[in-house]
Amino acid sequence: MSDNQSNPLPSFYDRPGVDREIIPIGDGIPVGFESVYNSELGIGGAYGSWGESFSNEKLKSFVENRLGEALADSDLLNLSELGFESRQHIPTLSPVENLELEVEVGSRLLKRAMATCGWAPSEIEGLLIGVTGPVSADYVTQIARKAGIPDDALKVSIHKACDGSMGALHLALNPELSPAGQMNIAEELKGKKVLVGGIEGLSRIMCQARDKNALQLFGNGMGVIGLIPGENMKFLVGKSFEIFDEEGLLEVRMSYPYSRGDSSNTSLINVKQDSPHHIRFAGLMHEPEDGSSIVMAGLMGMVKLFVRTGVQVVTDVYTDYKSLMSKLGESGKSIKLGIVHHANYKINALKAKQLSKLGIEFAMPWLLSDFGNVSAASNIIAFLRKLPDIHLGDHILFDGFGAGTYYDVMAISMG
């Protein structure tokens, strides 16, 4: 696993190429966007964050203000060791202000992504967004409308914690993934102009958190890519896997509609068509008993939760990939790059080490030191940051995982 932490930028907003704006809510909320386009692939998008940027040094006072109490030295995480140098947070806002802010942020992101790809809003036929805790049940519909995307474009909301954007990409590309008896999303979107991403207002969610680790690890982030399924991104092999977190190693409050009434459904995912053009994939979470938004079992708990099963899912997909390449007479072909969810550096490094012991090796760069853990946005941001280095015919492995617990791993051919 390569490590890009040697000279981290102190703030995302200081990065060359970032356009910074102020949204006139409260005392003014900074927001920054960076656009990326690869003309060889015909794929591009935009990513960014919003809120004030807090370095590791400044974070202690912010967390103490949120908690209303002092942090002991023993409560402080070694965030640099975990791969994070800064992250973005908003002040406490009213529910009306939070909704206005996140709809504005999300719609601006969609407009940037479309403009980067050279697409008009009227051309978009699909929008799939992963979001852990949506600010409103119809959030994806609201940002689509504000961005000018047609009302009859297919909109899909995926609530699978940090796996949401990879669950979205998997649905857009893998025709074997859609539930029986329901719309086959991949077949519906094949050959069409589609936006896929993750938008995570985690600072808002942290306003209801008392967990000291979570308050230090998470921040705001967003990313969306424009692609044409089956043309400039082609599905090779993949696996979607779920196993309920019985121990509650990472408890997350579900702020979206979820029905526990269907005992015949053995999946943790409720799939519901909220309107003719909006489908919701809602994942069951182990929720905090005290009503808070998130509770973590400590860093070793996160390792236990994600690494063992995560290594197995990646191994299964990699095995299927090698088998497919052999059948196609391309046994010499290999994965060029792994785009892995940035939960924290130690988790990803341990996964890489265990995969290496199994003979599975490919680059898995750490790319988000200036964001913190941004949940479902992290894979998309990481992909966009590596997009200029990806070429026609490259094979990329996307590795998503999140609380619940959910995994979406897939190998993709570019172009």
Residue with tokens 């970032």: 18
Upstream peptide bond of 405 is cis (omega within 30 degrees of 0): yes
Query: Where are the extended beta strands (E) located within 108-232?
Result: 126-130, 154-159, 194-200, 221-227
What's the rounded Cα separation, in Å, for the pair 17 and 23? 19
Taking a C-beta distance cutoff of 8 angstroms, is the pair 209, 215 a contact?
yes
Whole-angstrom Cα distance, residue 339 to residue 378?
Answer: 9
Domains in the chain, CATH or no CATH each:
12-243+297-414 (3.40.47.10)
Please give the span between the terminal C-alpha atoms of the chain, in angstroms, as a whole number: 25
In Å, how far from its chain's centre is CA 201?
Answer: 12
CA distances, 270 to each of 256, 284, 288, 414 (Å): 11, 8, 20, 31
Per run of 10 residues, the mean pLDDT along the chain (length 415 residues) is: 52 95 96 98 98 95 93 94 96 97 98 98 98 97 98 98 98 89 92 98 94 96 98 98 94 91 74 94 95 89 91 98 97 96 96 97 96 97 98 98 97 96
Bridge partners (DSSP) listed for residue 86:
55
- Listed residue (82, 103, 348, 93) closest to 218, CA to CA: 82
> How many CB atoms neighbour CB 71 within 10 A?
16
Distances (CA, A) of 181 to 178, 262, 270, 386: 9, 16, 14, 37
pLDDT of residue 182: 84
Gap between the Cα atoms of 132 and 130, Å rounded: 7
pLDDT value for 264 = 56
Q: For the range 385-392, what are the long-range contacts, defined as Cβ-Cβ under 8 Å and sequence gap of 24 or more? A: 385/36, 385/47, 386/337, 386/339, 387/36, 387/37, 387/38, 387/41, 387/43, 387/44, 387/45, 388/36, 388/38, 389/337, 390/38, 390/41, 390/336, 390/337, 390/414, 391/40, 391/41, 392/40, 392/41
Q: Give the CA distances from residue 391 to residues 4, 37, 232, 271, 372, in Å, rounded to whole numbers and listed in that order.
A: 21, 12, 11, 35, 28
**Going by C-beta distance under 8 Å and a sequence separation of 6 or more, which residues neighbour residue 166?**
130, 341, 376, 379, 398, 399, 400, 408, 409, 410
Show the tokens assigned to 391: 């070429």
Q: Which residues contact 341 (CB under 8 A, 6 or more apart)?
A: 162, 163, 166, 378, 379, 399, 400, 401, 402
pLDDT in the model for residue 259: 84
Q: Answer whether 167's CB lies under 8 Å from 406's CB.
A: yes
Q: Residue 278's pLDDT is what?
A: 97
| DSSP letters for 242-296 | E---TT-SEEE---S------TT--SSEEEEEEETTEEEEEE-----TTS-SEEE
Question: In sequence order, what are the beta bridge partners of 20?
Answer: 32
Using CA atoms, how far apart are residues 42 and 413, in angstroms rounded to an integer?
A: 13
Q: How far apart are CA 197 and CA 381, in angstroms?
A: 9
Distance CA 180, CA 397 (A): 26
Please give the pLDDT value at position 397. 98
Tokens of 330: 């391309």
